[in-house]
Chain A
């Protein structure tokens, strides 16, 4: 049986892991390669590296950071931030990434999803969606959540899947960095709309939050940063908690 995944996210700026609350006010949290090595040992299922400011400052994800992180890992690595073309995707994959996360660039030109998928396969394409509640709907925002898009998150996820995305990385802007729990309504709405896996992100606090998003939120995977980086929560402890509640987990590594 396919297990549900616990994914750690390294938000990187200038080669250093940072983590913001609601995407702003970034604080320092460590060396990416060092954290990656620790996660590899700790039994995390996957790692995501996001160069959080790459799009804002119009530069590609730091390839040096990507290869330093990749060297530490024998688990899948997804890289996002500033991937604007199939050629950018090639550079990131050549540096050791298994998947690229497309966000702002895909909103600007959705055909990039199919372009990368044709070249590397759908499994290499993660479309990252940052969404904010707007009444009963969810509005997509781009450029590290600074720019409003005239798109509905559910409709955009469906389009991304149709265009060849292999997974959706769905971040709740409202919950990001708050540690108040994932937005299960958002996650379930997107998960029900697509037949590809959905990774829930934004709001991870206590183990029960993960259990909720992996059941009621119908997420295939849950992503966290702060609570795992500062070891508020151990990976092993979290997985044991979820396994006890009947959620299939990878417990040996």
Chain B
């Protein structure tokens, strides 16, 4: 299975490669937009500033979008999830992929009780919508989050998290998945999430 990672200089590609490999695939970093034509699955990692998504070349952006149209499974992690939405207040001039409606906005601090960035292990609260990404993940399970901006809760949200406000922790429609926490840094639960994604990627479509 050809699992391709999009590297645009935002965050730790090494640890995502290692975690995806541990979950059972043999991932590699996409060299150029032409690579995407061959992808069986695409992972968009990322951490940090939404503005760094501007480093994704237009052709790569279109290639990823086209791949999702063909039904190639896509997993956006953290900033990668936010990129699946229309955009973010963090860098209003940088467009998202627009696969999910709405814009990401800043989490509000509330003194000692709510600090931003939202850093640490927080519960993944399931919504009524069934989740393939969280299959086998027990209720009350936590993931490791580190972010200051968050995506709104939409119809496709399968899990939320709460930090001052309630936001999308996991979103999925068809073969397009996004997760706000870092599965590569979320212990065995994170590895289960990655395995679930690879299971979808390995199923006939």
Given contacts A76-B185, A195-B109, A252-B142, contact A98 B15 (CB under 8 A): yes
Collect the chain B residues with CB atoms within 8 Å of residue A1's CB.
122-123, 162
Collect the chain A residues with CB atoms within 8 Å of residue B163's CB.
2
Given contacts A76-B144, A195-B116, contact A3 B122 (CB under 8 A): yes
> A121-129, A171-179, A228-236: which lies at the B interface?
A121-129
Given contacts A5-B121, A76-B144, A124-B47, contact A195 B138 (CB under 8 A): no
Q: Give the dominant DSSP class at A's interface.
A: loop
Q: Give the dominant DSSP class at B's interface.
A: mixed
Give the contacting residue for A96; candidates B14, B48, B148, B182; CB below 8 A.
B14
Measured CA separation A93–B14 after assembly (Å): 9
> A67-75, A81-89, A101-109: which lies at the B interface?
A67-75
Give the contacting residue for B119; candidates A40, A70, A166, A218; CB below 8 A.
A166
Collect the chain A residues with CB atoms within 8 Å of residue B48's CB.
120-124
Smallest CB separation, A114 vs chain B (Å): 13
Task: With a 10 A CB-CB cut-off, give which of A70, A71, A120, A124 has the most chain B CB atoms.
Answer: A120
Given contacts A123-B47, A192-B112, A196-B115, contact A98 B12 (CB under 8 A): yes
Residue B186 at the A interface, CB < 8 A?
yes
Residue B118 at the A interface, CB < 8 A?
yes
Collect the chain B residues with CB atoms within 8 Å of residue A253's CB.
187-189
List the count of A-B residue pairs having beta carbons below 8 Å apart: 104
Residue A183 at the B interface, CB < 8 A?
no
2-30 of chain B: CB within 8 A of chain A: 10-12, 14-15, 18-19, 22
Chain B's interface size range is 35 or more
Collect the chain B residues with CB atoms within 8 Å of residue A167's CB.
117, 119
Smallest CB separation, A243 vs chain B (Å): 12
Q: Mark A37-51, 1 if CB is under 8 A from B, else 0.
A: 000100101000000
* A interface residues, tally (CB under 8 Å): 36
Q: Are A252 and B122 in contact (CB under 8 A)?
A: no
Smallest CB separation, A94 vs chain B (Å): 7
Collect the chain B residues with CB atoms within 8 Å of residue A96's CB.
12, 14-15
Smallest CB separation, B8 vs chain A (Å): 13
- 21 of the cross-chain contacts (CB-CB < 8 Å) are A3-B120, A4-B120, A45-B120, A74-B187, A74-B191, A75-B187, A76-B144, A96-B12, A98-B146, A120-B11, A120-B48, A122-B117, A123-B117, A124-B48, A191-B112, A196-B116, A197-B120, A218-B112, A220-B119, A252-B140, A252-B141
B residues neighboring A (CB under 8 Å): 10-12, 14-15, 18-19, 22, 47-49, 109, 111-112, 115-123, 138, 140-142, 144-148, 162-163, 182, 184-191
A residues neighboring B (CB under 8 Å): 1-5, 40, 43, 45, 70-71, 74-76, 93-94, 96, 98, 118, 120-124, 166-167, 191-192, 195-197, 218, 220-221, 250, 252-253
Known: A5-B120, A120-B11. 6 other contacts (CB 8 A): A74-B191, A94-B14, A96-B14, A123-B47, A192-B112, A197-B120
